[in-house]
Structure 1
Amino acid sequence: MLAVTAISPLRSAEASDVSFPSQVGAVYRLSFNGFNVGKYHFDASYDGKSYIAKGHTEVSALFGAFKWAGNFTGSGSVETKGPQPASFEMSTKTKSKTTSVKLSFDGPRVASVALVPNKSPSPEAIKLKPENLQNVFDPMGATLAISSVNAADACNRTIPVFDGKARYDLRFSMKGREPIKEKRPSGQPAELLICRVKYVPIAGHKPKDFVNPWIDYDHIEIALRAVPTAGIYVPYRVTVPSTIGSAIMTVDTINITAANNQQIALKQ
């Protein structure tokens, strides 16, 4: 699952001096092929120097025959150029399998990787090179970086990611804009910026998995919503198309405590 669920500074000429919010809490609805399959809960805090972001997902499909749960934690600092990850942990659980990933960073490079189970990479996988672990984001840091840009560049950049096994790029391009309606006016712009995102495998993957894949890696979409009052963007909707239907993550509620303690509530 593409984990694209964090919130970070909206950097524009008008908001360059806005501090990151002290608290952000969000709940997203998860659906597949039009059926509700679960929720994703996200919480982040910032103390003026460092951030910690946590996420929890529970998915149940096929009348409970398939169950998946995941916990994610990322920490680091927020610098002028954007988030700088320090650590990342992820654990996932199905009915028959439990896995975990732990990453630590030394400046811009990945310093350590711990995987459970710790299996050797497949001989078919593209071998990771030292340069693949330089200047990358973990999945939680990546979702922060997705929003931490100038407004004009939100859909015109590449985010390098390493998740503990695979190194890949998320290449953004502009698709368009979309008006939205609010049940309760929030005072924020009622418009979404729609970014098309291409998943580009770099290393750690098996090339055969990307020959006629069932997921459409070229046409993932992320809809961002600007919240100028808090100086941030929020991911509002993520769509991952496939040959058997689309997986969609959509905002349910978002509650923000801005740096000046102003409370902002968004509801789909």
Structure 2
Amino acid sequence: MGDAPARRFTAAYGLSFLNLPAGEASLVVERAGERYALELDAGLRGLAGFFFDGAGKATVAGSATRAGAVTATFRIDSRYGGKPIAVALDLAGGRVRSASVEPPPTPRADRVPVAPEDKVGVVDPLTMLTIPLGTAPLDVSLCDRRIPVFDGASRADLVLSRGSLVTVSEGAYRGPALDCRVRWVPISGHRSGGSNVRRMAANDDLRVRFAPILDGTLLLPLSITVATGWGTVRIEATRWGGAAPGPEAPAAKPGVTVRLPNAR
């Protein structure tokens, strides 16, 4: 990662639905100067692991400054339901130079076409979870941002707002954190008549809590909470850097892809 020494951070997350364990994930972050790399492995367990099977990994590399993160490459290689899924993105200056999704989305009459301008000024679905800080202090204004995201087949915006500073006193991380509300706004590539798209776009009860890592130069999600019509989905850190992990959980099936909703 260049001449600057790379710094490494690891975190583990647990996924729950209706307060029942449903999955787990591990995230590795490396940063050297303005260059960064992320690697995510995720898996389902419990009843979710019984009904769904998958394996895979998502990786990304790019650069990050106080002005924001810029993706260079993004890859997903996975298997879901016994079928391979592969996504490859290459970008330069926020502009998509090449994109491939295998298998491609099923053609539908109500699928909104992706215009050339929808692939400009975007980041990938993994980088969207990070907020570069530089030397700036943690501040509620960091929530006031709109993040354009392209996943290889669809474009959407994450709109963050209504920030508040909190102090976390229990769990894998203890210290200051930033709470933001999030809206998902579909732009193109989605099915305009898809029920999942309509529900996600109408959901105004999605919250993300960010905490600082790597000497406070980068924010990562400490927890993500999504209220649904069936109950609350929660992703919460179970290990944060060098913090001791909690009680050992049952082994998960590796690698279910984590990315933007895309009704196919």
TM interval, short-chain normalised: 0.7 to 0.9
The alpha-carbon deviation at position 209 of structure 1 amounts to 1.9
Map of 1:163 onto structure 2: 151
Contact 2:69 2:132 in 1 (8 A): no
Asked if the contact 1:32–1:246 (Cα under 8 Å) also holds between the matched residues in 2, the reply is: yes
Report the CA distance shift for 1:128/1:45 in structure 2 as closer, same or farther (over 3 A): same
In the alignment, structure 1 residue 195 sits paired with structure 2 residue 195: no
- Count of matched residue pairs: 238
Q: 1:108 to 1:177 in 2, by over 3 A?
A: closer
Q: Distance in 1 between matches of 2:114 and 2:193?
A: 17
Root mean square deviation of aligned Cα: 2.8
Q: What CA distance in whole angstroms lies between the structure 1 residues aligned with 2:197 and 2:215?
A: 44
Once the two structures are TM-superposed, the CA of residue 49 in structure 1 deviates from its matched residue by 4.3
Aligned to 2:262: none
Q: Which runs of 5+ in 1 are unaligned?
A: 1-18, 256-263
Map 1:1-268 to 2 at 5 A. Answer: 22-62=7-47, 64-119=50-105, 121-144=107-130, 146-148=131-133, 151-152=138-139, 153-174=141-162, 176-182=164-170, 190-209=175-194, 213-215=198-200, 217-226=203-212, 229-255=215-241, 265=243
Matched residue type, 2:225:
T
Name the TM-score, length of structure 2 as normaliser.
0.79
**Deviation (angstroms), 1:123:** 2.7
The CA deviation string for residues 132-182 of structure 1, in whole angstroms up to 9 with x for no partner, is: 0000001122222x4548533221111000011110000011154444223
Q: Specify every segment of 5 or more residues in structure 2 that has no aligned partner in the other structure, as ranges.
A: 247-264
Tell me: CA distance 1:176–1:125, structure 2 relative to 1, closer, same or farther (3 Å): same
When residues 246 and 213 of structure 1 are mapped into structure 2, their CA distance, relative to the original with a 3 A threshold, is farther
Give the letter for the 2:73 counterpart: S
Compared CA separation, residues 43 and 143, structure 1 to 2 (3 A): same
Q: TM-score scaled by structure 1?
A: 0.78
